[in-house]
Amino acid sequence: MKIIGLTGGIASGKSTVSKILENLGAVIIDADIIARKIVEKGKPALKDIVAYFGEEVLLENGELNRKKLGSIVFKEPLALKKLNEITHSRIKEEILKEINWYKQYQPNHVIIVDAALLIETNLKDIVEEVWLVVVSEEQQKHRLMERDQLTAKEAEDRITAQMAIGEKLSYAHKLISNQGSYEELEKQVKKIWEMMEKT
């Protein structure tokens, strides 16, 4: 079994790359999906969030108001730090659990851990290789504003809340450029996959 960490800035194209890899036969562990699970209603992480941020970050049905919390943390580094303290160890624990499940029941698969914060949270230490999706900041901002209907300022705040791409480069074993078309992306990903299969 091989474990690859797939990372890159927000809206760089990790989920898009994951889909291509899934079609090639990989199994995907998506950190964003896990991050959503650990803050479901009744979970300890949601209780900790409410204790710190107040009931105003809840929807009327008691679920987390993600839009509201996002609007607080991405413009206030101290608030983001607190949210990270509440969530990151729990996200890592779940990712490790999923990896162990695959090790036991589907040991022949390639596992892709898709996580924007793979390097920041030291998840890089549990993967064998880091694949980094790279786009220009202009392209990233454009795709982010369009996908999430954000203003330029909101998109910039989200981008600067993450480690600069230049700093991530030194951890990467493979670079995937997503500056161009989907077809170009698919071609690159297939090539990297085939190279990996040969080693």
Ligand X SMILES: Nc1ncnc2c1ncn2[C@@H]1O[C@H](COP(=O)(O)OP(=O)(O)OP(=O)(O)O)[C@@H](O)[C@H]1O
Ligand Y SMILES: CC(C)(COP(=O)(O)OP(=O)(O)OC[C@H]1O[C@@H](n2cnc3c(N)ncnc32)[C@H](O)[C@@H]1O)[C@@H](O)C(=O)NCCC(=O)NCCS
Tokens of 163: 């480690």
Binding residue per annotation — 177?
no
CA angle 190, 25, 114 (to 5 degrees): 80
- φ and ψ of 91, to 5 deg: -65, -45
Binding residue per annotation — 43?
no
Tokens of 91: 């996200």
The interface partner of residue 178, options being ligand Y, ligand X, none and the CB cut-off 5 to 8 Å by kind, is: ligand X
Q: What whole-number distance in Å separates Cα of residue 7 and Cα of residue 124?
A: 9
DSSP string, 24-61: TT-EEEEHHHHHHHTTSTT-HHHHHHHHHH-GGGB-TT
Binding residue per annotation — 18?
no
- Residues 142-171 interacting with ligand Y (rule: CB under 6 A): 161-162
Tokens of 20: 């291509």
CA angle 80, 69, 153 (to 5 degrees): 75
Distance of CA 180 to the CA centre of its chain: 21
Task: Name residues whose C-beta falls within 8 Å of residue 146's C-beta, 6 or more positions apart in sequence.
Answer: none
Tell whether residue 35 is a contact of ligand Y (CB under 6 A): yes
* Minimum distance of ligand Y from residue 95's CB (angstroms): 9
Tell whether residue 140 is a contact of ligand Y (CB under 6 A): no
- Binding segment for ligand Y (CB under 6 A), chosen from 17-25, 77-85, 97-105, 188-196, is 77-85
Give 129 or 154: the residue with its C-beta nearer to ligand Y.
Answer: 154
Give 40 or 197: the residue with its C-beta nearer to ligand Y.
Answer: 40
Give 129 or 186: the residue with its C-beta nearer to ligand X.
Answer: 186
CA angle 83, 89, 94 (to 5 degrees): 115
Give 108 or 181: the residue with its C-beta nearer to ligand X.
Answer: 181
Binding residue per annotation — 12?
yes
Q: Residue 167: count other Cβ atoms within 10 Å of its Cβ.
A: 11
Per-residue mark of binding to ligand Y, 82-121 (x: CB under 6 A): -xx--x---x-----------------------xxx----
Binding residue per annotation — 14?
yes
**Binding footprint of ligand Y on the chain (CB under 6 A):** 10, 31-32, 35, 66, 69-70, 73, 80, 83-84, 87, 91, 115-117, 161-162
Binding residues for ATP: 11-16
